[in-house]
Structures are given as structure tokens and as C-alpha cells.
Structure 1
Amino acid sequence: MTASFLSAPPVTAAVQALYDDDVDDVGYVMNLTHLWAHQPETLEGLFGLLGRVGAEGGFSLRERGILVAATAASLGDSYCALAWGSRLGNEADPVLAAGVLRGTDEGLTAAERAMAAWARAVATDPNGTTASDVQVLRDAGFDDARIFAMTTFVALRIAFSTVNDALGAAPDAGLSRTAPAEVWDAVTFGRPAAEDDAPA
């Protein structure tokens, strides 16, 4: 099977390093890695920037999971929704993760609900946001520096999802084997999962 709409890039040392990292981490090469192997340095730069923005915002794994899951679901991105819904489910609770993916936000604190709502607004209609929407975040305890970091983090995740989705990277078959049932049932959108893991 193909990992995306693009052909596989030549296997350079940088590309092989990406593949090897995936095999070490999850046991197979992810479809998105096959895609981003066309520009390994760009992937490294994007993830480095995401890491820096997340650190500047002081976001925990749970908070990052909420932001990514809410963003991915709003975009209809099944890949990141399954991957980060699973991470959030493992970090917190699968029912909570499914609630974020469905937009019910069951089990979230008031501050986390504000984060999820903001991520959805940025993902679906950034020109429709208002000063009042930002004030909701302030009232939930976020200062302006964290609000900026939150918005930038979501915007970068949108860019990542857009490349994956537009170029046909399907969720890995491995995700269907490991995602909590609650998360799997909540992802009723986007590309279906691949039937088999793509070869390295």
C-alpha cells in the first residue's frame, strides 16, 4: 500500500533516521513519517517549534492533548484525532478524550473547556473570534502570554494536519489496534484508517 498520494522519497541518511525513530517508538513507520520524509528538516523544524511554543505556554501533556484533539476534530482530521485522542485517553481518561473529540467536553475543568472552545474557534473561524472570546480565556486564568502560545500552538497543529490530510496520509493501522474504544468510536470523520502498516 502507499502511505500517501505521493511516491516514497529516496532513502537518505536523514530519511532513514526518521524511519528508525518510528520503529523504535511505535514498532512501525507511520504514514505521516513516510510523507514528511520528503523534507525531514521541515518536520524537525515544525516539531521543534511546536515544542518551544508548548514549553513557553507551560502546557502539560493533558493540556496539549485537549488542544490537539479539539483542533483535529474541528478540522475533520482523523489521523491526529486518533493519535492524540489516544494520548489524552491514556494520560487522563478515554471517556474524557472522547468528549473532547465529540465537543461535549465531559470531564474537563472550566479552564480546559475554555481551551477546547478556543482551539475549535481558531480551527474553524479565526476571523470570527472577538475580544470577548479572549476575555473568556483570561477569566479562566490564562494570561496574554499563554493565550498567544495557545493560539500559535493550535495554528501550527492546523498546518501539520493540513499537509497530512491534503496529501492523503491515512491513520496508521497501528492506531486502530491501540486506540481506546471510546476514542475510536468518537472519530467518525476524516480518512479511514489504513488496513495495513506501510512498509519501511
Structure 2
Amino acid sequence: MFIATIDEKDARGAIAEIYQAEAAALGFVMEGTKCWTALPHIAPMVEHLLHEARNNFSLGLVNWRLITLIAAKQVPSSYCSHVYAKLLVNDLGSRDKVLAIQHDFRNAGLDAKTVAMLAYAEQVARDASLVSEADIGLLRQHGFSDREIADIAFCAAYRCFMSRYFDAVGAMPESTWLDPDPEFRAAMTVGKPV
């Protein structure tokens, strides 16, 4: 990490609560969480926003993770690519499936609705100024409600915000998230070397 953050032993109040909850869930506190404590007045709000958005995501946790993987590639964020690839391997049960989606989701055997969702997320992350009303119409044709479309846009845009901050302050993925397979690890290293 490039900047000073609050160490776990020095954490108090809301920061201590955030650290304790993450350590209980993961067994450690991620650099992606710690890096926000350089802004201790912002860290609790960022944590709250993440949990509210993810827990109330209208398309389910796996789709949150798929969108995040595709958006992270566009940023490009090695940190988020590695974290979400690892989570998706557990969700989908296949390293090869995750690799295929990350490489080319349009030709990875996904259904047309999921491909449309990821294409929209990719565009939001790449250049949202190019999204048109026709793009929204296409999503509606695939059966997405306006709430779901807003959720996709939020998830992709949120990942850009988070990932860019992580890279800007030097947060790096913990070894837990790095796959032992060199080909898979190389594919998920889309930005900074890990």
C-alpha cells in the first residue's frame, strides 16, 4: 500500500467494527478495506454502500460478481479481477468457465439475457457516455426491469470507483485470492502486476 492506513490493533469505533466483521467472515482484513481508512470519515460510508447495494441487488449475488469481473477487466483492475474470479470459481464450480467468461463472455456459453447484461456492464465500465436509449431498450427486450437495469449500471460504475481508488493508493490482492494455476492467474492480472 502506498499510503498510511489504520492498523487493526489501532482501530476504534466504526473502523474496528468493520475490521472485526471482515476478519470474522474471511479470516483477515483485505487491503481493499484497509485502504479506505486513510479517509476514516469516508470508510464507514463506503462499507455501508457496498453492503446495501450488494445485499439488495435485484439480480442476485452471482450476477453481481459476473458484472464486477467484466467491469474490473475494463478498468483494468487486477485486484478486483482476482478477488471476483476466485469467488466465481466457487459459485460456478469451474475455473475454465470463469476463464472463458473473463476472456470472451459473448462466446462462453452464457444465455442471451446474461450476455446482454454483461455487454451493458462492459460499456458502462468502458465509456458510459456511449450508452444510448436503444441499449436500454435492448435490455428491456431481454426482460430486464428498469430497477434491474439501474442495478447493473450501479454495479459496473461502482466497481470503476472502487477499483480505481484501490489502484491509486496501492492496494494489492492478498495471496488468498491468487489462483495457483499460472495461466488463470495471468489472465486475471489485467492491470497492475501482482
* TM bracket (short chain): 0.7 to 0.9
- TM-superposition CA deviations, 1:159-189 (whole Å, max 9, x none): 111110111111112212xx37374242132
Which AA in structure 2 matches 1:45? M
Contact 1:94/1:180, CA 8 A, preserved across alignment: no
Contact 1:171/1:191, CA 8 A, preserved across alignment: no
Cα pair distance change 1:37/1:117, threshold 3 Å: same
- TM-superposition CA deviations, 1:73-120 (whole Å, max 9, x none): 111101111111111121113222222322334132211111111111
How many Å apart are 1:154 and its aligned residue?
Answer: 1.7
Q: Hey, what does 1:95 align to over in structure 2?
A: 96
For 1:158, what is the secondary structure of its paired residue? helix
How many Å apart are 1:135 and its aligned residue?
Answer: 1.8
Contact 2:15/2:43, CA 8 A, preserved across alignment: no
Unaligned residue ranges in structure 2 (runs of 5+): none
Contact 1:56/1:149, CA 8 A, preserved across alignment: no
Cα pair distance change 1:107/1:48, threshold 3 Å: farther
Contact 2:15/2:44, CA 8 A, preserved across alignment: no
Contact 1:18/1:40, CA 8 A, preserved across alignment: no
Q: CA RMSD in A?
A: 2.3
Cα pair distance change 1:42/1:60, threshold 3 Å: same
How far apart, in 1, do the equivalents of 2:54 and 2:11 lie? 30
Q: Hey, what does 2:2 align to over in structure 1?
A: 5
- Match among 145, 150, 153 for residue 152 of structure 2: 150
The reply on whether 1:71 has 2:68 as its aligned counterpart is: no
How far apart, in 2, do the equivalents of 1:138 and 1:17 lie? 41
Which AA in structure 2 matches 1:12? A
Q: Hey, what does 1:82 align to over in structure 2?
A: 82
How far apart, in 1, do the equivalents of 2:127 and 2:185 lie? 26
Please identify, of 22-31 and 148-157, the stretch whose mean Cα deviation from structure 2 is larger: 22-31
How far apart, in 2, do the equivalents of 1:71 and 1:5 lie? 24
Which AA in structure 2 matches 1:97? V
How far apart, in 2, do the equivalents of 1:184 and 1:17 lie? 32
Unaligned residue ranges in structure 1 (runs of 5+): 194-200
- TM-superposition CA deviations, 1:55-89 (whole Å, max 9, x none): 55412121111110000011110111111111112
How far apart, in 1, do the equivalents of 2:129 and 2:73 lie? 19
Q: Hey, what does 1:23 align to over in structure 2?
A: 23
The reply on whether 1:130 has 2:129 as its aligned counterpart is: no
Which AA in structure 2 matches 1:187? M
Output the TM-score relative to the length of structure 2: 0.84
Contact 2:68/2:159, CA 8 A, preserved across alignment: yes
- Match among 101, 108, 111 for residue 109 of structure 1: 111
Contact 2:69/2:102, CA 8 A, preserved across alignment: yes
What is the aligned-residue identity percentage? 26
